Structure 1
Amino acid sequence: MKYNKFLTILFASGLLGIAVACTDNFEADNRNNTGFDSELQEYDFQKYLLKFEIIQSGIYFNYDWGEGKNWTFQIAQNLGQDMFSGYFHDFNQGFNDKNSVYALNDGWTSTHWTYNYSYIMPEVQKCEQINVEQPALLAVTQILKVELMHRVADCYGPLVYSKFGQEGDNVDDLKTAYKQFFTDLEKGITSLQSFIKDNPGVEPYKDADMLTPNKTLAEWVKFGNSLRLRLAMRVANVDKALATEQAQKSFTLGQFLEAPNEIISVSTAGGYNNPLGEINKSWGEVFMGATMESVLTGYDDPRMSKYYDPANGAVITWKENDVVKELPQLFEYAGSYKGVPQGTGLLSADNRYKECSKSTVSQKTNPILMTAAEVWFLRAEAALRGISTEDPKICYETGVKTSFEQWGVGGVDAYLQSDKTPADYKDPFDTQFDMNARITTTPNWADANGTEEQFEKIMTQKWLAIYPEGNEAWTEQRRTGYPKLFKVKVNNSGGAINTDEMIRRLPYPEGLKTSNPTQYSSLTRALGGADTGGTRLWWDAGKNNF
């Protein structure tokens, strides 16, 4: 990480100051440099497409706004949501006294909010205004808008969405925002269906499509409908009527991502660079999380080698006062899959976990936003809740099979019959960080003890299948309590976050308190609790209501 650079920018200037400055210069920074004048832009659809790529590359944020790429994603997601999900941990010196131990760093936790509102949402609004002349592109924009902003809502809570760009109190509480998400998805899906019916075989925006596998409008319908089911299940614990209404709309349409190769991801073929891959491969800062080690090794999951590389396990040495020191290992872990525990609070010079397992994600790995496997698990949950007439067992097992095929691994039949359970975590250097496995369920559906454990199986396998998209994984873990992640050993939140309940959300940017106190007051009032990481969001009921 370019640590000194981003600290200087974020803390010397102030987050909101950056937001204002960036917005002021946004048009200048994003002029079309291709040489098209307005007539040629109109002729070549550039008028409609110039904003499209910005939005697509901004969801999994790696938009070059003039200060470089990748590090923005690290502080916007990787040092927060990716870690809180249990997928990853960066143990480089200087990071472990902040988010890892719940001493939340405003410069990091504010970034997801600030950059989406500074750069991407203004482009969404402009795209909506321009695209009234292009109904299919407007429909795709509406789907993109929901995918972009539900991620923000699920991190922070109440937000500016339905009244973005309006004066006065423009804050939506989370329930209102979700209802608007569903409205926008309905508009987008319906409009796309009409366009496809009236224009068979026409794909006018194919060259600008960065997300769908075959770049077709039919796939956008599937994505929008699958996204509707995702959000319907999100609210199922707190508003079953709304969840049922929206899920049944999805099932009535019946068009979902279903096959293993139906993956919504940001294509790197046209020059987009996966920021997680850069942080991983170039910076060496994306380590396997301890819960992932527990589950993957305990289950002997064949996807393990697709997700992570084996640990190097080299002897840890460092120099102190010109003397080379060596850290004793409690056991040999080279060649095994070894994760890093969150919340140790260690700031040791030895950087002891640097030889643990790292992610396999590279700069050219397409960042995943949604998979068919996830959708099968959504369908399993809907069936378990009695919202659909499908068989939850069949949907669950299809989800596992789809994930295995997506990642190109075999042995799924034996895996689905397995009675193996997650493993205890053993720290290679200090037994005080050893942890007993908190998960006891197996991959085998038949051995579930009632509905709650069936649900735990669905959600544990869904968590494995969503990898490596930590934003969605963390959201679902908070909503359902599954999988049961390891808890932090050190909690420096000052009482704001309960160790057992874990972090529930990201606080709003500190800069809002002084730059826009009226809006900040509206946001916190709609939140209904303290603006801390310990306050539950509307859909986070604290229990699963079937």
Structure 2
Amino acid sequence: MKLNILKYALAALPLVTFSACMDFDTPSDEFNKETDVTLRPEPLHGDADNLEIKDVVAEEDFPEIKKALKNDLDMLITAQYYLMGGKDGNLPGEHQWQYVYSLTTDNYAGYTTCDQSWSGSFPTTYSYKRDFCEGPHGRFLSMKNNLGNLLNNDLTNEMVEIKAIALLLFDHVAQECTDLYGSIAYQDHKGNKETNPFTFNDGYTIYTSILKNLDDIIAVFDNFPNRPSWYQTQINQILQDNDALTQTKSIDTWKRYANSLKLRMAMHLVKVNPTDAQRYAEEAVASGVVEDMANEVGLNPTTNYFNAHPLKGIMSGWNDVRVNASFVSMLTSLQHPYSNYLFAKNTDKLINSADGSVTDAGTVVVGLRAGLRMESGQQYYANPRVAYSQFTGEDFEFMNIYAIKWAEIDFLRAEGALRGWSMGGTPQFFYERGIKNGDCGDRFGFPSGNYETYLDDYMEVEKAVPYTYVDPMDHNNNIESVTKIGVKWNDSDDNETKLEKIITQKYIAIFPYSYEAWTDMRRTGYPKIFPVLNPNLGDGSLNDGDLIRRMPLPHGDLQAGMDDIATSGIEALGGPDLQATRVFWDNTNPNF
């Protein structure tokens, strides 16, 4: 039956600009609430959750449908770039990356530490600076603004596989934001709601909704081979034009992406509902997760044509972050391959004001303790902390940016197998394969070979090497390494030791993806990192040695946002809007 395309004419209207929430343009500015984001004149409101597997539209109608949805399909690319740290249809860059990762979670996870105080407004990495904490939610809203009409346009159901991809992208960023904040206005934003009041949903409800979506998305992808060949050709062509994240540009890889996200979320639920967690995880693995390089999801600097990983510019160009001392300590104690080539030595001399001792330039690898009181300034003459160690080398400069990395999935399967779940192999198998495929360097375009050079010896490390962190400028910060485990798998280890090994190696393998790393720290207590200095300089809810548990609910600096938080946010969160309040999956139950 021929469709009436005219009723969907809105889908072909030109784009205009509306006001969104965050400004990612200036690396050291506070947010500007007047950022322009591309939206339609009239946001559509439909049923974003509805993935209807129905009879295929008539072949002669498909070109008109595709034409009517052209603007939405173009915005699909922009949404993928936002997910990976890009902005306004551009590939990942420093400004966005800093607000999405570097100012918050990279510090909380222990990969990097900010080395300057932004003119005193951000004295420590645990300081309660709401503007910085809004960054990841700004990314969520930017993706919503680019996906909302595609999800809520009835016409999109005529190419339901594309709608399923859009819903997968939206749910991925929603999962990440739920983990960061504990609660977001998930249903309102999925329905393309534009103005306050927004209703916050509790984390468990959001997870349940996403997991239901993922089952429907996977069912759509499973049905794709049953579609007529002409239809498959059309969808595959749309993927060729609009898929920025996969190498294969195939429905099969997007299905593996969906199952891998389902596996990740299942593991997050292990202390909340272990029975459902096991079921979700086993279903995901049985259906097919990412298990080779060809099906990894993300961006590669050499094939996607961006100059370098954004963290390089933030670190070496802007002097805004340095290597975290915990990360140096961990990799040194474990004799990890990175300890041989990923860290640069101090760029200038470091003077200890207490005893007058001088550490000459280029003599030590030394990171910064998280929570250290920071000085103002990005130049050595004003702030000598910028002379501490950076990441260096081609492996760092050309790091891939992953949405789903094969190594992460292997470590998830290793943990599942350790718990007795059916993961398709033993904990040891997935643990060792995850290490072998955990290199942060460009494994596609210009692999350096550095990682492989040291890998065999690394896999045999049975005991951590003693290491003491020494801060050349302040010996009060000195501390012995908290990494005591080895690397080599040992079946005689107890489950807690095996879990610590799995999570520690996962943490290294997914670097610098700090969202999942911070989640694992809160969920399992691993990997062990140095106690944070001065945690009480945040919102006052943390004690010495405490790990920050979450970021404040978004939009608390606007009256309408504060009203929404008071009306539904606190109830959905299940506790006060403080750094010490745990998100729903973060509880004090034992790991086993």
Q: TM-score, normalising length from structure 2?
A: 0.79
Q: Which residue of 1 aligns with 2:324?
A: 289
Q: Which residue of 2 aligns with 1:499?
A: 544
Q: Which residue of 2 aligns with 1:34?
A: none
How far does residue 328 in structure 1 lie from its aligned partner after superposition? 5.3
Q: Which amino acid in structure 1 is aligned with residue 145 of structure 2?
A: P
Q: Which residue of 2 aligns with 1:432?
A: 476
Closer/same/farther in 2, CA of residues 170 and 311 from structure 1, 3 Å limit: same
Picking from 558, 561, 564, the partner of 1:519 is 564
How far does residue 41 in structure 1 lie from its aligned partner after superposition? 9.4
Q: Which residue of 1 aligns with 2:5?
A: none
* 127-136 vs 375-384, which moves further: 127-136
Distance, in Å, in 2 between the alignment partners of 1:335 and 1:235 is: 45
1:129 aligns with 2:152: yes
1:180 aligns with 2:215: no
Picking from 394, 406, 414, the partner of 1:380 is 414
Contact 1:316 1:352 (8 Å CA) reproduced = yes
* 219-228 vs 353-362, which moves further: 353-362
Contact 2:267 2:281 (8 Å CA) reproduced = yes
Q: Which amino acid in structure 2 is aligned with residue 125 of structure 1?
A: G
How far does residue 463 in structure 1 lie from its aligned partner after superposition? 0.2
Distance, in Å, in 2 between the alignment partners of 1:329 and 1:189 is: 62
How far does residue 466 in structure 1 lie from its aligned partner after superposition? 0.5
Q: TM-score, normalising length from structure 1?
A: 0.85
Distance, in Å, in 2 between the alignment partners of 1:99 and 1:544 is: 35
How far does residue 272 in structure 1 lie from its aligned partner after superposition? 5.7
Distance, in Å, in 1 between the alignment partners of 2:586 and 2:505 is: 20
Q: Which residue of 2 aligns with 1:231?
A: 265
Q: Which residue of 2 aligns with 1:400?
A: 435
Q: Which residue of 1 aligns with 2:15?
A: none
Picking from 220, 228, 251, the partner of 2:285 is 251
Q: Which residue of 2 aligns with 1:61?
A: 85
Contact 1:159 1:171 (8 Å CA) reproduced = yes
Taking only the aligned residue pairs, the percentage that are identical comes to: 25
Q: Which amino acid in structure 1 is aligned with residue 526 of structure 2?
A: Y
Size of the aligned set, in residue pairs, is 517
Q: Which amino acid in structure 2 is aligned with residue 124 of structure 1?
A: L
How far does residue 136 in structure 1 lie from its aligned partner after superposition? 1.5
How far does residue 263 in structure 1 lie from its aligned partner after superposition? 2.8
Distance, in Å, in 2 between the alignment partners of 1:7 and 1:183 is: 40
> 3-state SS of the aligned residue for 1:368?
strand
Closer/same/farther in 2, CA of residues 95 and 358 from structure 1, 3 Å limit: farther
Closer/same/farther in 2, CA of residues 266 and 99 from structure 1, 3 Å limit: farther
Contact 1:92 1:285 (8 Å CA) reproduced = yes
Distance, in Å, in 2 between the alignment partners of 1:95 and 1:333 is: 26
Distance, in Å, in 1 between the alignment partners of 2:266 and 2:539 is: 35
How far does residue 309 in structure 1 lie from its aligned partner after superposition? 3.7
Picking from 365, 369, 382, the partner of 1:337 is 365
Q: Which amino acid in structure 1 is aligned with residue 200 of structure 2?
A: V
Picking from 387, 391, 397, the partner of 1:359 is 391
Distance, in Å, in 2 between the alignment partners of 1:373 and 1:96 is: 39
- Compute the RMSD of aligned alpha carbons: 3.3
Q: Which amino acid in structure 2 is aligned with residue 111 of structure 1?
A: G
Superimposed CA distance per residue, residues 391-434 of structure 1 (whole angstroms, 9 cap, x where no aligned partner): 11221112112225957422433322212316321112221111
> 3-state SS of the aligned residue for 1:287?
strand
Q: Which residue of 2 aligns with 1:35?
A: none
Mapping for residues 115-264 of structure 1, pairs under 5 Å: 115-117=139-141, 119-130=142-153, 131-164=156-189, 165=192, 170-198=199-227, 202=233, 203-204=236-237, 205-253=239-287, 255-260=288-293, 262-264=295-297
Unaligned runs of 5+ in 2: 1-22, 44-62
Closer/same/farther in 2, CA of residues 401 and 115 from structure 1, 3 Å limit: closer
Distance, in Å, in 2 between the alignment partners of 1:518 and 1:232 is: 33
